[in-house]
Amino acid sequence: MLQIDDTIISLDLLDEHFVCDLNSCKGICCIEGDDGAPLEVDEVEIIENILPIIWNDLTEKSKEVIRKQGVSYIDDDGEPVTSIVNGAECVFTYIDSDGICKCAIEKAFREGKTDFYKPISCHLYPVRLQKYDEFIAVNYHRWSVCNCARTFGGKSSVPVYQFLKEPLIRRFGKDWFEQLEIVDKELKSRK
C-alpha cells in the first residue's frame, strides 16, 4: 500500500496489468453482477437530468425498470447504485451493431449531447473506491469476467493505473496521478 494525499492505494494498481478487450468480453461487466454500479450522490441527480437525452437508446425493459424505481436504488450497504434489469444488467446498457454491450450515458457524451461521461465507478473499473472517515482506499478488483483484460494488458505490459489514467485524473486530479507515476518509477528502479 502507498499513500497519496487522502488516498491509500493498493500496489496492485502498479504491479498488475489490465487493458479492456471488448472484442473478447463483449462488455459483460455491465450485464453480470448482483447490484448496479456504485454512484456518487450527485451522480443520481445528473443521471436523472440527462435521462431524456439517453432515453431512446435504452431497452424497453430498462425503461420499465426506470419508470418503476428510478435510475438508481439503495443497495444493502446503504449506497446508491444504478438500477438493474433482471437482477443483473445495468439499465443504461445497449448492444451495438457488433454485439458489444455499451453504456448509453457514455454514448451521449461521445456524441456531444452531455458533458457527463458516465458514473465514475464505471469509468474507474477495475478499480473500486472505498470511502472511510479519514481516507479513500483505491483497490484493484479482480473479477473472472475480466480475465481477457488481464491477458491483453499483460501482453502489452500496461499497468492498471496507466490503463485508467483518464478516470484516475478525473477523480483525483493530475497532480495525484503524476505522484503515482513517480512512485511507480521509483519502485521499478529498485527492482
DSSP string, 155-185: HHT-BHHHHTHHHHHHHH-HHHHHHHHHHHH
For residue 155, what pLDDT is reported? Answer: 93
Structure-block grid coordinates of residue 124: 474507474
Over residues 89-129, the pLDDT tens digits come to 999 999 999 999 999 999 999 999 999 999 999 999 999 99
Over residues 3-62, the pLDDT tens digits come to 999 999 999 999 999 999 888 888 888 888 778 999 999 999 999 999 999 999 999 999
pTM: 0.90
Cβ–Cβ under 8 Å, residues 71 and 47: yes
**CA-based nearest residue to 21, from 160, 156, 152:** 152
**Within 13 A of 114's CA, how many CA atoms are on the CB side?**
19
Where residue 108 falls (left for φ over 0; alpha for ψ -120 to 50; beta otherwise) is alpha
Q: Which residue has the higher pLDDT, 64 or 22?
A: 64
Look at the alpha carbons of 173, 175, 180, 185 in this order and tell me if their dihedral is positive or negative: positive
Cα end-to-end span (Å), the chain? 17
Q: How far apart are CA 128 and CA 105, in angstroms?
A: 20
User: Can you give the residue ranges of every domain in the chain?
Assistant: 1-18+126-191, 27-117
Backbone φ, ψ for residue 96 (5° rounding):
-80, 180
* Mean pLDDT of the 147-172 span: 93
Indicate the pLDDT class of residue 190, thresholds 50, 70 and 90.
confident
